Amino acid sequence: MSQAAILVTRAIFPDQLERLQAQFQVESNQQDSIWSPDELVARLQGKAGVFMTGVEKVDAALLAQCPQLRICANMTVGYNNFDLAAMSAVGVLGTNAPDVLTESTADFAFALLLATARRITESEHYLRAGLWKHWRYDLFAGAEVHGSTLGIIGMGRIGQAIARRAALGFGMRVVYHNRSRLSAELEHSLHAEYLGKQALLETADHVMLVLPYSAASHHTIGAAELACMKPSATLINVARGGIVDDAALAQALRAGTLAAAGLDVFEGEPAVHPDLLTVPNVVLTPHIASATEGTRRAMAALAVDNLIGYLSGGAARTPLNLAQLDTGAQAARVAS
């Protein structure tokens, strides 16, 4: 058995923990307690690798205090918890878990769109409160989904999977905005049309956010962008908290300048902006877009594969910064 020591920061599937224990000395947090940054640093002492959930921050300050750390493996596709430049400078590899959650996340994104547009949460609360007395022609009349226009901001793997569902399953017109435009062939296969951001916001009946979080994408949707949208439109965020200005969104929902929103992610989560909890026309879910049994198992397995592959054989399946690693610093960590 390798003498490398690793840390697992949160509870994971027992069979995946056993895979790691067969290869390494493992300290695991199966109690799923939330560690402070200082406690995380303390527990990383002497560790060559760490299994992470995409929440724990890895920055220059942490790396300076963890001289033996060689790989940080996220079980999420997002990696905005990593300062990749700082990691590369000291020879620490970052990995994530792309592809394995694409289809289940796209399914959920569409489920959230349908629940939001068709006012499912509002109507269920109404029924449970005993307020439903009779049928009425306009009772919880929502927005059309089939045949409407879906605007997707962020056209990576998940955005493309959503576009296929929209165009081929619901006969929607699909428009998108992305940092780089897709090839003409891919646009054609997705039945998707590229638009500038403002044109998309003005055009779409439903806007879906599927872009990664970064300093550049912070508050991609704020008060000004919300004002560009149709008053009848819906906004869906299955990307990351911070991409939407949640306070501005709550204000728009309350004022009726936006019809409805569906949110799976929030600024400062697990805290939710209190104003979002008091408006009826928003569907709120606790960051569960990838939460199917099969998908979460595949995400965990990929993170485990990355740890085993890199620490045992030098090859991770989904490296983020391999080409940028300082090889001298990397060698010093291996030798430590």
Known catalytic residues are 240, 269, 287
Written as six digits, the tokens of 214 are 């970064």
CA dihedral 208, 213, 216, 217 (to 10 degrees): 20
Q: How far apart (Å, rounded) are the C-alpha atoms in residues 285 and 291?
A: 11
Residue 298: CB partners within 8 Å, gap ≥ 6? 97, 100, 101
Residue 108 CA to its chain's centroid (Å)? 12
The span from the CA of 152 to the CA of 148, in Å, is 13
Q: For residue 250, which of 278, 228, 230 has the smallest C-alpha distance?
A: 278
| Residues in CB range of 262: below 8 A, 6 or more apart | 112, 113, 115, 116, 234, 235, 236, 237, 282, 283, 285
Residue type for 336, please?
S
